[in-house]
Chain A
């Protein structure tokens, strides 16, 4: 019997061309009793190996191929739990160090120190042993074997590879000799890198990507042949005909290895309570104390609900989980760090009473079972948003409190997407750069790597590439295969695990680029190995809110009392009804703004519904229009069965939330809460058709038992089926809606503060900087340019109707330089010229100065043209160096500066000519180009203002004129296209939405497939930035006009 003991999966990053499932499936198909996974320097794939091995009923053997300090490889297999722990620690050590983060290296000393429970196979061609044998250094090889045998004893094996490489048989002969002399047995491996030999091209291309070469370039690290596939026993016996004992030894090793990674255990820490109180008692006390604070009246129904939730939490063993989250939130609140729970946790009244969420689950009648139930297979997941700029303080608290050895961040794997596949595979295939560049730029952002071939026919802007189909065939074929393979390893934005035991028991660790330690497991696999994940997310909206509060403190109206904003402010709802919600959390997209202008929102419930409505599910299910019609009384509200009325009443008979799916299943088909949650999961995870049919049959059968007519139950099931594939959780919508309303309130009442704060958090939200500025201007706020004598790092509000742009918006501007500029200005007064700044601020280099000039930051102190100033810059900088002014960077000496003549200026030196004041070198177009490129907004004007007179003479209307036009008016308008996108539609046809911006206003536009296919593809090409559009004005029953596009053309 043969077992593969050296096997790489796609987790070997660019050196493994098969998924773990396919490897396990093939091993099972060949009736192999076990399979080892030995990816390069990682155990990331082990949970998946264990999961698939359990399904295919083979034994998973944990391992890794580790790179030693001298660059040689060694294969380690885990014999038992001790070995697993040691492997985890060894891999962590191997990654510990700045240069080892991306190129891990393990010292022999560490390996020998942590050798327990590990089996060693001497390794592949890149091992020390084989290197020595290939170099005819038999003595060194023998010394290596003796040394390792001394440490590992009978846990050392000499690895014979049958990979069809040169010198293979010579190496075997020497290894056999070594084996005979030392008694260390031989073992056969095939160093598997893919399931089937047909996948050799995929492996070769992945290696080319990894090595930065193309297929025409010979490289010693590219695979030489296609022998490294997961072959069967017969092939093994053929390959190792001369050493059959090495084949049978694989089985012996497989039997020595225990299944070392236990799935489905829980390692969440025990929360340390004070006074010996039990966790459950403490939780109960905290919850009822919070209930008293949160509710004016704690009535019996609330008590019953809290007791029910607490019982469930205790029974499922999540007391400590809740206490830990409570503790983290308590810390954040005590430090004034704004936070709010989101997701299904908001279904819990306990979470509300612990201040984890701000959604009154009991008051809203939210279903706790959506979050947690006895029958629910998934672990509950609590996600908390923290102000982005202070989230790290919370992380630091978690590390401090629960121990650095027990806390780690969760990893995330970016997979090959359409665009990256085109670029990377195309380069490896040596396809022309211009072809790849233009193709990659036009592939839709969301396209998967396995969709590329079909896109050429479906996406009009890719049509011209059909003629290249033959040249692209390998690219498409390989992309199809590697779609979903991990490509980049990174840190999850907020995922964190806290363990009861040191993390080495379950995972290795490696540092992120930021220096935080993370497990190699992603958010799914951490749960598989029993680690409970918390999502401590950083939300820029929270930071923007905090920033607005701070900015308001200096204003005449005083500090915003954000925690006590009225939820019934008429002016805020009026603004929302007009769809003027740019900058408002969750309500700013064109679709949301169009919805708001039709929905007539007058309460928080409408906003909760809005958040859930503009999602693929309700859009695909064609629920938006019926919802609006029923909400506004234009259509009667009907229920298929009276039992649905209490469930769907608040959404006018429309299924909008996942909680409703669960309640319907319970009411109509008498599903238990767990069964109902299973129904939700089957639907929301778009699993197999068979699974869907199965649960549908169960639904119908149980509904029939309950006396529901079959046709009614069938229709109800089809409704929830159509909807639930993208369903939205009501608790999550309610959590978001609360923040949405509050930010709308800020936009309405504190626009300068809030928009300035949004700019300070950029990038955030849906729109680019120039749109935020345009919206602020529309609200009467003046946007003041960056000015060396007025600006700070952040955008500021000199008055309630103006925003001064900050240095932070300038591309590649650094905060230390900004602080040096403002510090010197505070100490010694305003800058008189560019040369003055050159002289006074040592930190400001040529790049910073150029950018300051190009965005007009010197316009108020320099009469010279910007271009003239740029011409003079090198001269001033050279003089600064010659005169040794200023002092060397880093040796800035306050005493010397103080002793220097006031406002010493190079410009006042007669040896340095002042710049010519002749103007006209920088055209308006050049200035705008610079400002848009470096600042993201044109402060000197707008692109359209340059061409307005010509456009007017050609019959183009302004957007303001279009906004005031009557329904059905045909118009021609010009503008900058913003965020063209193609969301899914019920019909499957493509509809393009985008916004047009001119110097005064913005207009949302819709383009149907016929126009998109004939003319509209330019929107997704570089020439689609500045557009001419003709079409018809529509209101669709709302207050805000939109444009239905009939023709579109480029104005560039």
Chain B
């Protein structure tokens, strides 16, 4: 099961341009492994650009897809 959430997160530690640790509501997540990276185009006809997608394992043993565009990051998908 997966859930699409598209929720903004607050990155508080960076690895270059990519997040290394972030906060979602009151929970803090530390990325322990990046399983995959890819790029996805948004709805270009509505002015959206390209996003970097990351599939990550976190210290809380969560598998998440993160979505980043222009320095803003969101949890795109949670893998249950």
Contacts and interface: CB of A to CB of B under 8 A. Distances in A.
Interface of A: 164-170, 200-201, 204, 215, 223-227, 429, 474
21 contacts: A164-B38, A164-B39, A166-B36, A166-B53, A166-B55, A167-B36, A168-B37, A168-B38, A169-B37, A200-B41, A200-B44, A201-B45, A215-B43, A224-B38, A224-B40, A224-B41, A225-B38, A226-B41, A226-B50, A227-B39, A474-B45
A224 B39 contact: yes
Interface residues of B, number: 12
A165 B39 CA distance: 6
Nearest to B42: A225
B2 to A, nearest CB: 14
Nearest to B35: A170
Contacts of B38: 164-168, 224-225
Given A166-B55, A215-B43, A225-B40, 4 more contacts: A168-B37, A200-B41, A204-B41, A204-B44
A225 B67 CA distance: 14
Given A164-B39, A166-B38, A225 B45 contact: no
A674 to B, nearest CB: 52
B44 A225 contact: no
A201 B36 CA distance: 25
A227 B53 CA distance: 14
A225 B36 contact: no
Q: Is the interface of B mostly helix, strand, loop or mixed?
A: strand
A169 B38 CA distance: 9
Nearest to A222: B41
A654 to B, nearest CB: 54
Contacts, number: 38
Nearest to A166: B38
A167 B41 CA distance: 17
A164 B40 CA distance: 8
A920 B37 CA distance: 75
Contacts of B41: 200, 204, 223-226
B44 to A, nearest CB: 5
B36 A170 contact: yes
* The 5 A-B residue pairs with the shortest CB-CB distance in the complex, in nearest-first order: A164-B39, A225-B39, A166-B38, A225-B41, A201-B44
Q: Is the interface of A mostly helix, strand, loop or mixed?
A: loop
Contacts of A224: 38-41
A1001 to B, nearest CB: 53
B54 to A, nearest CB: 11
A168 B43 CA distance: 23
Contacts of B43: 215
B9 to A, nearest CB: 21
Contacts of A167: 36, 38
Contacts of A166: 36, 38, 53, 55
Nearest to B52: A164
A229 to B, nearest CB: 12
A223 B43 CA distance: 12
A879 B57 CA distance: 74
Contacts of B40: 224-225
Interface string B5-45: 00000000000000000000000000000001111110111
A133 to B, nearest CB: 14
Contact of B45 (A165, A226, A227, A429): A429
A204 B48 CA distance: 14
A165 B41 CA distance: 11
A169 B43 CA distance: 26
Interface centre among B36, B40, B45 (most CB of A within 10 A): B45
A169 B36 contact: yes
Nearest to B45: A474
Contacts of A215: 43, 45
A90 B43 CA distance: 40
A201 B44 CA distance: 7
A168 B44 CA distance: 23
A429 B45 CA distance: 9
Contacts of B36: 166-167, 169-170
A164 B39 CA distance: 5
A750 B43 CA distance: 66
A429 B38 CA distance: 25
Contacts of B55: 166
A607 to B, nearest CB: 55
Contacts of A225: 38-41, 50
Contacts of A165: 38
Nearest to B55: A166
A170 B37 CA distance: 10
A188 B40 CA distance: 21
Interface centre among A165, A166, A169 (most CB of B within 10 A): A166
Contacts of A204: 41, 44
Interface centre among A201, A224, A474 (most CB of B within 10 A): A224
Nearest to B38: A166
A204 B42 CA distance: 12
A513 B43 CA distance: 38
